[in-house]
């Protein structure tokens, strides 16, 4: 019974290189869409949202939900 020696790490990473980039781009696109949605709900720009702390975003979302 012989045990197959695995390929090198660079061989492994090269085989997934394109897929990893696609996954990361898809994830980044999803996050960008989510940020834009939250910014629109709060009535601020995406840049302003980026500069807000999570606490401020949470408070503003609560106020928006209470008003609705």
Mean pLDDT, to the nearest integer, of 24-40? 88
Residue 21 included in any domain? no
For residue range 11-30, what is the model confidence (pLDDT) as tens digits?
Answer: 655 666 667 778 888 888 88
Question: Is 55 domain-assigned?
Answer: yes
How far out from the chain centre does Cα 37 lie?
13
Domain span at residue 65 reads 43-68
pLDDT at 55: 94
Tell me which DSSP letter residue 66 carries.
Answer: H
Please count the structural domains in the chain.
1
Residue 2 has pLDDT above 60, yes or no: no
In a domain, 54, yes or no: yes
Q: Is the model's pLDDT at 3 over the cut of 60?
A: no
Give the integer Cα–Cα distance in Å for 31 and 9: 30
- pLDDT exceeds 90 at position 56: yes
- 6 found inside a domain: no
Answer yes or no: pTM beyond 0.75: no
- Whether 67 maps to a domain, the answer reads yes
């Amino acid at each position: 019974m012989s045990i197959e020696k695995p390929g090198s790490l660079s061989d492994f990473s090269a085989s997934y290189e394109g897929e990893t980039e696609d996954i990361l781009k898809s994830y980044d696109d999803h996050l960008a869409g989510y940020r834009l949605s939250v910014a629109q709900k709060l009535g601020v720009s995406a840049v302003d949202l980026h500069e807000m702390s999570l606490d401020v975003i949470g408070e503003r979302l609560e106020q928006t939900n209470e008003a609705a």
